[in-house]
Structure 1
Amino acid sequence: MSLSEWLISKRKVSLKRNINLLNLFVPEGLWIKCDKCGFLMYYKALNKNLKVCPQCQHHFPTSSQDRIFQILDENTWKPINNNLASTDPLGFSDRKVYGIRLRDMQNKTGLSDAVQTGLGLINKTCVAIGIMDFRFMGGSMGSVVGEKLTRLIEIATEHKLAVIILCASGGARMQEGMLSLMQMAKVSSALYKHKEKGLLYITVLTSPTTGGVTASFAMLGDIIIAEPNALIAFAGRRVIEQTIREDLPDNFQTSEYLFKHGFIDLIVSRIELKSKLKQILSFYNKSRW
C-alpha cells in the first residue's frame, strides 16, 4: 500500500469514527434535510417557519394540530364531535382487521379519525373549520369524516358562519366501501344548503388532495386556495396515461398546473395563509353589511 493510499484509508476511518460519535451524542430528529433541495436545518427553525423550507419553500407535511395553531387566533379553538369514531360497519379485513387498524391509528395520532372539526376565530371573526389529517390512514374519507364535516357545515348554516375546510386526503376509505362513497353526496348536500343562505365556503387544498375528496367538497369552495406544488388529482397519473395512452405534462396534477387552467383561485404559501384568510374574511364581512 502506498503512502497516499494509507493516508486516505486513515482519513476514512477517522471520518467514520466521527460520524458514529455524532450519531451517539446528537438526538435523532434534531436536524432535518429538505427532501427537495437537500438543505440541512435545525428542526426548531423548521417548526418556527411553519414547516416550510427557508431555502426552497418546500412545504413539509404537517398535522391538523399544527394547522390549528397556525391559522386560528390563540386559544380560540373549540372542537366539535371530537370523540366521534367509526365502529367498523362492514367488519372489513385485509392484512389487518379494520377495527384493529383504527385503534392503532387512534393510539398513534391521538385523533378519533382523519379530520378535526370545530369553531375558532381568525382575526376575531368566528369561523367553522374542518382540518383533515393525512397521518390518520392517509386522511381517507370514511363515514366519520363525512359525518363530522356535515355536522360542522350544518352548525355553520344555523349560526351563519363561514366554513373553511383544509383538505389532505388520499380519497374515499376503501374499508368502508359504499358507506364511504355516500359521504361525497352527504357533505355536498350540506354545502348546498349553506350556499343557499349566502354564506362563504373556502377550501384549502394541501398535498395530497385526491380521489373522492377532490371529486366532492374540495372543489366546491367559493374560493379555492392551494399550497404551492401540492398534488391535487382524482385518478393517479399512471392510470390516466394508460387510459388515454398519452404522456402527461411533468407538472400535471400540481396546484400550479390547475391554477393555470382555472381550477383553483389562489396559490398561497402556508406562511401567508392566515393573513390571506383574514383578508378574505374581512372583505366578506364588509360586503355582507
Structure 2
Amino acid sequence: MNWISNYMKPKINSIFSRRETPDNLWSKCTECGTMLFHRELTENMNVCTNCNHHMHISPRDRVTALFDGGIFTEFDAKEPVTDPLKFKDQKRYTDRIKAAQRKTGEDDAMLLAEGEMGRTKVVVAAQDFGFMGGSMGMAVGNAIIAACEQAVKRKCPLILFSAAGGARMQEGILSLMQMPRTTVALQMLKEANLPFIVVLTHPTTGGVTASYAMLGDVHIAEPNALIGFAGARVIEQTIREKLPEGFQRAEYLLDHGMLDRVTHRKDMREELITIVRLLMKQTPAIKGDLPAPNPAEQKATAKDAKA
C-alpha cells in the first residue's frame, strides 16, 4: 500500500481543490450589476441594497409581507375554459401554461388573498409577471371579478398589485374582452362605497394599464416602475418626436398627475394601512400589534375610573 498516493494525495487535493458555490446563493442586480447574497436580498424584499432598484418579487412573498403576521387566506376564482382557441405557435398554449405553472407554482397570473392589514380586513389581488409576463387572460379577468365580489361580501377594500405586459395573445379577442369585464366588476365596489387601491409595479403596460390598473381611487407605484400603454419606441415612431427622459416611469407620471404616490416597497405596508383606514373612516393604526383604540370603550373606561 502506497500511503503517499492513496492517503496523502487525496487529502492534499481536498484541501486545495476549488469548492463549487451553488448558483442560487447570489443574484445579480439588473440595474447596477451588484452581486447580492440571497438571504440579504430576501430580507430587503428583493430591493437592491446598492442602488435601491426594485427587483421582481413573487405575489406570495408580497402578500406574506403585507398581511398581519404573514397570515392570509387564499380564495379561488371561476376556472376558465383552457385553450379556447386551440392556439399553437412554437409551442401549444396548454404546454406554455403548464411550463409557467411549474416555474411559479401558481395556477395562473393572479393570486387572490384576504386577511387583516393593521387589524383592518382587506382583499388583495396580486399579479405575477413571472407567469407568462403577467398577461391578462380569462383567468385574470375571472380573478378580478372574484376579488370584487369577495370585497363586497366582506365589506372591505380591494388592493390590487398590477404587473403585466398586456393582454394574453394566445386567447385573442377573449383576452381583450377582460378590459370591459373588469371595468364593470369594479363598478360593484363603487356602488358599495368600498375603496379600490391600485399599486402599479414594474412593468404595468398594455391593456392592463388601459383598464383596471388605472381605475383606482388611489394610485401608488413602486420607484422607477415602467407604466404605460404603448411602448416608447412605438410612440416615438408615431409622433416622430424624441420623448422626454424618464417618460412612462413612475416618477414622471407622479409629476404629471397620473399617480398619487411613489412608495418604496419596504414602506408599502404602512402606507396602505394609513390609506385604507382613512378611506374606511377608521381611527389611525397604532404602531405595533395592537389595534387602534375604540372611542366608545375609552369613554366607558374613563367613566368607570371616575366612579
What's the TM-score once normalised by structure 1's chain length? 0.88
The answer as to whether partners of 1:85 and 1:112 remain within 8 angstroms in 2 is no
Moved more, 242-251 or 25-34: 25-34
Is 1:116 matched with 2:111?
Answer: yes
Moved more, 147-156 or 254-263: 147-156
Is 1:28 matched with 2:43?
Answer: no
Aligned equivalents of 1:128 and 1:210: distance in 2?
A: 23
Report matched runs for 1:83-94 at 5 Å: 84=79, 86-94=81-89
Q: Which has the larger radius of gyration?
A: 2
What's the counterpart of residue 133 of structure 2? 138
What's the counterpart of residue 11 of structure 2? none
Structure 1 unaligned runs (5+)?
Answer: 1-20
The secondary structure found in structure 2 opposite 1:165 is: strand
The secondary structure found in structure 2 opposite 1:235 is: coil
**Structure 1 runs (4+) greater than 6 angstroms displaced:** none
What's the counterpart of residue 258 of structure 1? 253
Aligned equivalents of 1:261 and 1:34: distance in 2?
A: 29
Of 161, 173, 193, 1:198 maps to 193
Task: Name the Cα RMSD after superposition.
Answer: 1.8
Question: Could you tell me which amino acid in structure 1 is paired with residue 229 of structure 2?
Answer: F
Report matched runs for 1:174-185 at 5 Å: 174-185=169-180
The answer as to whether partners of 1:82 and 1:112 remain within 8 angstroms in 2 is no
Question: Could you tell me which amino acid in structure 1 is paired with residue 251 of structure 2?
Answer: E
Say if 1:86 and 1:78 are closer, same or farther in 2 by CA, change over 3 A.
farther
Aligned equivalents of 1:40 and 1:237: distance in 2?
A: 30
Aligned equivalents of 2:116 and 2:199: distance in 1?
A: 17
Aligned equivalents of 2:255 and 2:93: distance in 1?
A: 40
Aligned equivalents of 1:249 and 1:174: distance in 2?
A: 30
Aligned equivalents of 1:66 and 1:86: distance in 2?
A: 28
CA drift of 1:33 comes to 2.9
Of 219, 232, 237, 1:242 maps to 237
Identity of aligned residues (%): 46
Aligned equivalents of 2:212 and 2:250: distance in 1?
A: 17
Aligned equivalents of 1:75 and 1:94: distance in 2?
A: 40
Aligned pair count?
Answer: 268
Aligned equivalents of 1:123 and 1:229: distance in 2?
A: 27
Aligned equivalents of 1:164 and 1:93: distance in 2?
A: 35
The answer as to whether partners of 1:83 and 1:112 remain within 8 angstroms in 2 is no
What's the counterpart of residue 52 of structure 1? 47
Question: Could you tell me which amino acid in structure 2 is paired with residue 67 of structure 1?
Answer: R
What's the counterpart of residue 126 of structure 1? 121
Say if 1:175 and 1:238 are closer, same or farther in 2 by CA, change over 3 A.
same
The secondary structure found in structure 1 opposite 2:201 is: strand
Deviation per residue, 1:127-151 (Å, 9 max, x gap):
1110000111000000011011111
Moved more, 59-68 or 74-83: 74-83
